[in-house]
Amino acid sequence: MYETNFHKASTAQDAAALLAKSDDGKILAGGQTLIPTMKQRLAAPSDLIDLSQVSALRGITITKRKKMGIMKAEGGETITIGAMTTHSEVAGDAELVKVCPVICQLAGNIGDPAVRHRGTIGGSVANNDPAADYPAALLALGATIHTNAREIAAADYFKGMFATALTDDEIITAVSFQAPAVAGYGKFPNPASRYAMAGVFVAKSVEGDVRVAVTGAGDNGVYRHAGLEAALSADWSAASVEAVEVSADGLMSDLHGNAAYRANLIKVMTKRALA
């Protein structure tokens, strides 16, 4: 690796200040993407700013929704996950699994145990790998990405392959979303990397809105599928998926599978998500 300056931030504000002062600084969360990239000499940041000691960025909070002043327990809870919360912590949270089991299931199938114990939700969302799992969940759940400077709706945050709405000096502090009335995630993983060759997150909000987000298949990263959303809005069932045409246009072709293969996978993973 190239020579770099290493800093341990104590707060998000401290990290932002260090980032602003550096020539080409990078935030280090779990390091599951950044460190291998540096080892391959594809990145050579002047400074690494480690967030591992910022306890305020770790943890899961669940707030029951209120209706006419009465605390409600049946769906619609607001879930806030700190950016430095690991995949393993999301997967194993006893309270989260009661209100949003799909996000625990998703997190529990990211990578392998070593990745899950180091990788963080904030790092994954900041990197926006086109085959990552969390972007599909956040897009389908209508989530909000919180930074040290502002709040960004997921629909406005994901800008394409490895591209986001983050500015150079912004740091993700948390993500939040409303627990869905019902949701599921179907993923066909690459057998080596466990990244999604196609992953489909389906969600119906307590208000009845349906969103379907696809990861691992699009040339331009995570995206919503309007045809599947329309079909499931009319009939929330695997049978309704059959009539939907999933075009291969704009889908990836690589050594693992061509665009037509991924188009078929999207329909299959949608059905598995519904199951």
The domains found in the chain, sorted by start residue, are 5-54 (3.30.43.10), 58-274 (3.30.465.10)
- The structure's pTM equals 0.93
Q: Convert 198-231 to b/e letters by CB count within 10 Å (16 or more is b).
A: bbbbbbbbbeeebbbbbbbbbeebbbbbeebbeb
Closest Cα to residue 140, out of 95, 87, 100? 100
pLDDT over 90 for what percent of the chain? 88
Q: 3-class DSSP state for residue 204?
A: strand
Dihedral sign (CA 49, 55, 56, 60):
positive
Residue with tokens 């990211």: 110
For residue 29, give Cα distances in angstroms to 76, 115, 267.
Answer: 29, 12, 34
Structure token digits, residue 128: 């926006």
Res. 64 pLDDT band, cuts 50 70 90: confident
Strand, helix or coil for residue 6:
strand
Each residue of 101-157: pLDDT tens digit? 999 999 999 999 999 999 999 999 999 999 999 999 999 999 999 999 999 999 999
